[in-house]
């Protein structure tokens, strides 16, 4: 599997050895695989054929100019948007996320950029706004 990018989107990886190799060496070594994801809004192609392999412990950055498709790509992974084409696999199992709740059930969550923070809340509380209280019962509030 070869990572491909929209014209202005790049994928940077903390471990770049083999990032551009052809083929996935072992599905069991990959935690998340995005394969040929695409998304269009009418005639506008926001994401075109993105493929990406994420491994446990690997730090990956999705970078690009405004309008390059970064947010749309992450929204597809987080279940907020459905891809028009392509697939998402987690630990070798194909997933179709129809909601953010589906993605969370599979271990995928996203903290969206939010400019409207509640000043009197701690960071973790701002992150948790809107989530069910029992979802965060295991958080270390002192951290």
Condensed to tens digits (0 to 9), the pLDDT of residues 12-37 reads: 444 433 333 333 344 446 699 999 99
Q: What are phi and psi of 73, to 5 degrees?
A: -60, -45
Whether the predicted pLDDT of 128 surpasses 60? yes
Q: Per-residue pLDDT tens for 4-15? A: 444 444 454 444
Mean pLDDT, rounded, for 89-103 = 93
Cβ atoms of 100 and 78 within 8 Å: the answer is: yes
Identify the pLDDT of residue 129: 72
Query: Mind listing the pLDDT tens digit for each residue in 101-113?
Result: 899 899 888 877 7
Count of alpha carbons within 13 angstroms of residue 102, beta-carbon side = 16
Q: Please provide residue 105's backbone torsions phi and psi, each rounded to the nearest 5 degrees.
A: -60, -30
Distance CA(83)–CA(22), nearest Å, equals: 23
* CA 111 from centre of chain: 10
Structure confidence at residue 114 (pLDDT): 66
More confident of the two residues 110 and 129? 110
% of the chain residues with pLDDT over 70: 68
Quote the pLDDT of residue 2: 41
Going by C-beta distance under 8 Å and a sequence separation of 6 or more, which residues neighbour residue 128?
135, 136, 139
* Contact predicate 80/100, CB 8 Å: yes
CA 105 to chain centre: 14
pLDDT band for 124, please (50, 70, 90 cuts): confident
Please give the C-alpha separations between residue 9 and each of 42, 65, 119, in angstroms, as whole numbers: 20, 7, 34
């Amino acid at each position: 599997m070869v990572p491909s990018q929209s014209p202005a989107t790049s994928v940077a990886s903390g471990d770049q050895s083999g990032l551009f190799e052809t083929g996935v060496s072992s599905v069991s070594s990959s935690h998340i695989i995005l394969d040929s994801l695409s998304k269009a809004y009418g005639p506008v192609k926001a994401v075109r054929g993105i493929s990406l392999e994420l491994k446990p412990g690997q730090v990956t950055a999705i970078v690009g100019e405004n309008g390059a498709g970064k947010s749309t790509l992450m929204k597809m992974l987080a279940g907020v948007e459905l891809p028009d084409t392509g697939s998402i696999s987690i630990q070798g199992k194909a997933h179709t996320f129809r909601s953010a709740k589906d993605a969370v059930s599979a271990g995928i969550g996203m903290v969206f950029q939010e400019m409207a923070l509640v000043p009197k809340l701690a960071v973790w509380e701002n992150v948790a706004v809107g989530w069910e209280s029992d979802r965060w019962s295991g958080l270390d509030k002192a951290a």
